Amino acid sequence: MEIDYIATGHYARIVKPSRKTGGRYLLRKGRDKDKDQSYFLYRLTQEQLSKTLFPLGNLTKKKVRKIAKKIGLTLQKKEIAKRFALFQTMTTRNLLKTTLKQLQEKEILLIRKAKC
């Protein structure tokens, strides 16, 4: 799949290549020290980092909640967030197996039709 960029909701930051960085992208901790997720992303390659955006990286969780409330977004329930945290520790294969078991047949058909 050809993409220009992908944005994720991880609390991490990317420093773009420069002389200071030795011409490399650098992965940095998110501004919110309590929510930093850079440790989870350490395996991203230079190519992947070059196409990744972390719009929450310079924000605190408190600020994100304030923005979400202001624009009328519903905030996640803690149970959903905990379930997602569990998925982050699973291998891709196990994650897909678990997720696919929970999907209904029509949802699986939609996934098969999607272009990847």
**Neighbouring residues of 46: CB distance < 8 A, sequence distance ≥ 6:** 24, 25
Sketch the domain layout of the chain as residue ranges. 1-73, 76-116
At how many degrees (to 10) do helices 78-88 and 92-102 cross? 140
pTM of this structure: 0.60
Residue 91 has pLDDT above 80, yes or no: no
H-helix segments, the chain? 46-50, 61-70, 78-88, 92-102, 105-113
pLDDT band at 64 (very low <50, low <70, confident <90, very high): confident
pLDDT for 98 equals: 59
More confident residue, 32 or 87: 32
pLDDT of residue 40: 85
